[in-house]
Amino acid sequence: VMKDEKFWREGMDGKRFALCSFRRFWFFGAAGILGAAVSAGLYLLITVALAGPPEYQVFSQYRIYFDSEKYGEIQDYYNAYTWGEIMKTDEVLDYVMEALPEGITKEQVKASVSVGAMNDVKIMPLTITTQDPELSETIAEAYVYGLDRFGHSIEGLSGMDCWLLEDAQEVPRGTKAGNAALLGLILGAAVGFFAWLIWYCLDDSIYLEADFENRYGIPVLGVLTEKRDAFLQKELETALAVRLKGQERVCVVDAAQTAGRKESASGGSSLEDEVVKNGPEWEECRWPFDEGEAERMKQSGVLLMLPWGKGSGRMAGRLVNGLEKLEVPVVGAVIYGAKDGFLRAYYGKKGGRA
């Protein structure tokens, strides 16, 4: 009988989890690459394809002269934010508009002007951005005139001089695609890992003897690996000899048949040829059982053959439940097709147990 149908409550075997995770690194990598591609693609779509017409910027710098003799440390009251707001006030715009040709509105000027970060409170970086390079240069030149007038008209300042005025440059787009791809890579890999973690918690596959024994209380007598590890084969031979001592016949049932899989461990012939040279007669019984097979299994008992890896737990559960309904005794189980490298890594040394 299955001890606990909630196999995801069995607890976490750290080494088992790590080894299963290592086998899924390709999945985490693929999820990360997919996330990077999607993130970079969306970023470029928004910033390039859907961004509308190109924009042109004119960068300029102004030296601000504070009237410290009359007003003291008045510069402490100014920063990039306050200057950014001041550049859009009528006190500045009225002077700027005097230098602009007709047809350019205050709203256009307000929308175009911005002040960058100020490392020095006396140096103000001013940027004009529009969709027309000539318009950007025209507004920028008007600010040179307007701020000179403004600097001499407002209390607390003694002047504002333009130190730098560049030509209009097209605003580059999609410059952060690499950052977007890196973020997508990290998020994609993280999503892939958590998806795998959920799958791992719900996975009932058999990788170790304890995976089956803890659920059903049926002893696993041994493991047959793909490369037929000699130590594990000897261990299985001894367990079968002791467990089946005195029996004339034993029925062997492959759990893979319950899922319609074609691969199998070759039933009793594989064990008889490779492991047990002198023992009971082996009979391979195939699912679903007829009445005659069921009666023979009740008399001799059943040895289960369990495929290693994905989906094996659900196959085994169905088979065990079916045998329980028929009141067939199970003498033990053998796991076949196990990965040699997985077991060596888990148990810590080749051909043995840590």
CA distance 332 to 337: 17
Contact 254, 282 (CB under 8 A): no
Strand-pair category, 281-284 with 330-338: unpaired
How sure is the predictor about 276, in pLDDT bands with cuts at 50, 70 and 90? low
Other Cβ atoms closer than 10 A to 276: 17
pLDDT confidence of residue 73:
75
CA distance 122 to 72: 14
What angle in degrees, to the nearest 10, is found between the helix axes of 177-202 and 14-22? 130
Q: With 90 as the cut, is the pLDDT of residue 287 above it?
A: no
The region of weakest confidence among 4-18, 76-90, 154-168, 299-313 is 4-18
pLDDT confidence of residue 173:
86
- CA-nearest of 285, 343, 346, 269 to 319 is 285
Cα angle 345-351-354, degrees, rounded to a multiple of 5: 60
Q: With 60 as the cut, is the pLDDT of residue 10 above it?
A: no
Can you tell me whether residue 42 is helix, strand or coil? helix
CA distance 209 to 336: 11
DSSP state of 2: -
Report the greatest alpha carbon distance in the chain: 114
Q: With 90 as the cut, is the pLDDT of residue 162 above it?
A: yes
Q: With 50 as the cut, is the pLDDT of residue 272 above it?
A: yes
Q: With 80 as the cut, is the pLDDT of residue 189 above it?
A: yes
Residue 288: asked if its preceding bond is cis (omega within 30°), the reply is: yes
Query: Among residues of the chain, what percentage have pLDDT more than 90?
Result: 35
The 10s digit of each residue's pLDDT in 245-257 is 877 888 888 888 7
The residue-averaged pLDDT of 227-255 equals 86
pLDDT confidence of residue 260:
61
Q: With 50 as the cut, is the pLDDT of residue 284 above it?
A: yes
The reported pTM is: 0.60
